Amino acid sequence: MPAEPSILLRRVFPVPPDAIEEAGKASTEVRRLLRGMGAEPEVVRRAGIVCFEGEMNIALYTKGGRIVLVVREDRVELLFSDRGPGIADIDLVKQPGYSTAPDWARELGFGAGMGIPNMEKNSDEFHIFSRVGQGTVIRATIYRRRDDLGRSGKEA
């Protein structure tokens, strides 16, 4: 089995609880870092979307968490973990339009039920692990070279 490509960059972004006005800062920094490393514009765009949606979900629905950015030669990985209510039905939250957003979030223009679907759509690999009452971990992978897409069988 071939060795994992080495890590070129690893950054951790805390997402504090009840910090909706802070949301978006991590995704902006992720895009800046990737551009600075010379990542392909399409990878930067997709990673920015995935990161923003995950960051908003942590800010809106949980008691805080973190985002870990890992950049390897062949891919960008985004790991989201939170201390939230967890997801009881993962298949349901993947359906466009499904939302459990509270009224205050909807009044701010959030809660359209496109966060998880947008994260999945912009990832080459996407996995959700969740326990009700404990929290959720999401791993999103975006391959950096077109020929690497064959591993997931998914195209952008």
pTM confidence score: 0.87
Average pLDDT, the chain: 88
Farthest CA pair distance, the chain: 51
At residue 78, does pLDDT exceed 50? yes
In this prediction, residue 146 carries a pLDDT of: 52
At residue 95, does pLDDT exceed 70? yes
Three-state DSSP class for 50? helix
CA gyration radius for the chain?
A: 15
Three-state DSSP class for 38? coil
Q: Of all residues in the chain, what percent carry a pLDDT higher than 70? A: 93
Taking CA atoms, 9 is separated from 12, 81, 106, 115, 136, in Å, by 10, 19, 36, 26, 24
Taking CA atoms, 20 is separated from 31, 53, 63, 110, 118, in Å, by 19, 12, 11, 11, 19
Residues 6+ apart with CB under 8 A from 54: 67, 78, 80, 115, 119, 138, 140
Q: pLDDT digits over 115-154, tens only?
A: 999 999 999 999 999 999 999 999 999 999 755 444 444 4
- Please name each of the domains of the chain with its CATH number: 7-148 (3.30.565.10)
Q: Which of 45, 25, 24, 23 is nearest to 34 (CA)?
A: 45
